[in-house]
Amino acid sequence: MRIYSKVAILLIAIPLFAVSCAPKGRSPVSKEAAQTGNPPSIAVFIPGTASGSPICEMLASGAKRAAEEYGAPVQVIEGGYNQAEWESKLTSIAASGSYDLIVSSNPSLPALAQAVKAKFPSQRFLLLDGELAGDLSIYTLRYNQREQAYMAGHIAALLAAEAGNGARIGLIAGQEYPVMLQTILPGYREGAEAVNPLIEVDFRVVGNWYDAAKCAELAAGMIKAGARVLLCVSGGANEGAVQAAAEAPSGDVRIIWFDTNGYAIRPPYIAGSSVLYQDKAAYNKVKLFLEGKLPFGTAELAGVRDGYVDFIEDDPLYIAAVSENIRKKQHDLLLRLRSGSLILEN
């Protein structure tokens, strides 16, 4: 499952919450509009809550911006943190018959969408960060997280070498799940090995997405074992690792952030941010739907060359926190990924 910073999957239930955006009056050109004279309506289903979760906020803001441009009504509906309830909440949305399109983002959503479609075959879905091909009512776009993790591992190894212990780096995950074990962890290791083929990755799991104290304990243990750079993919628990880095006696421990720009969280301890531009993806794909051009039935892969995955290198806090030598080496890697001279299939 995708890690949503600050609000990843907890085992509690949150009521549905909706925010309506009034139409702006511009006529869309979709098939629905041509047939009914009205713009199609859109529901954005948040797997968690939007407030405090940058990746979820980007999903909502991108979809709303596209809808507003075309005068389409849109509602943002929060599914809460209990994943077991997502299918029933999606079913309720489809059962209402109020929405021509449901937009969401999470690797688990394609399977849930298919279950909902078994009851409501006409319901259509636009799903980011997931993969499903062949269903003519579902479009999916999956991010190339191998590239995202590779960039994180590359700078982690560079920073570790500069700190004087280039033999070990760390990765703290909220939980073990397929994308983490099959893509993020291997990609992180691969990027680090491009710098130092003998480097070791200390991988530890919090067990949830909120326990900052447990994350701090794990981070402290990894630091004691020699790791000077840690990638954190554990939601709200990440704060514990940042605190452990700040308290490290050596003063040279650094954190790599994932999915969003984290440099301002606690300078100078955040020394890298591999990001997803989910707002851009949501905007572009919702706009295609409203123009009647979204290729339902396809599963697209988007990465650095497509502009949906990247590493933030122009933030002044990054420039202040990281030496020019490391920034140049990281930039050289980014140029290779952006130009396509280095291709990492996901």
The pLDDT value recorded for residue 321 is 97
pTM, 2 dp: 0.85
pLDDT in tens, 4-29: 443 333 333 333 333 333 333 333 44
Tell me the pLDDT of the chain averaged across its residues: 90
- Residue 36: pLDDT above 80? no
User: Of 277, 276, 300, whose CA–CA distance to 288 is shortest?
Assistant: 300
DSSP 26: P
Q: Which sign, positive or negative, has the C-alpha torsion 208, 267, 337, 128?
A: positive
Give the pLDDT confidence score for residue 4 in this predicted structure: 43
pLDDT, tens digit (0-9, with 9 covering 90-100), for 206-235: 998 889 999 999 999 999 999 999 999 998
Residue 152 has pLDDT above 70, yes or no: yes
Cα maximum dimension of the chain: 67
Tell me which of 321 and 34 has the higher pLDDT: 321
Q: Which domains does the chain have, with CATH numbers?
A: 18-143+278-302 (3.40.50.2300), 145-276+313-339 (3.40.50.2300)
Angstrom distances, CA of residue 32 to CA of 99, 101, 280: 11, 11, 24
Q: What is the pLDDT of residues 273-284, one digit of tens each?
A: 999 999 999 999
Q: What is the mean pLDDT of residues 182-196?
A: 98
Give the H/E segment covering residue 222: helix 212-224
Q: Give the integer Cα–Cα distance in Å for 110 and 132.
A: 6
pLDDT of 283-341, one tens digit each?
999 999 999 999 999 999 999 999 999 999 999 999 999 999 999 999 999 999 999 99
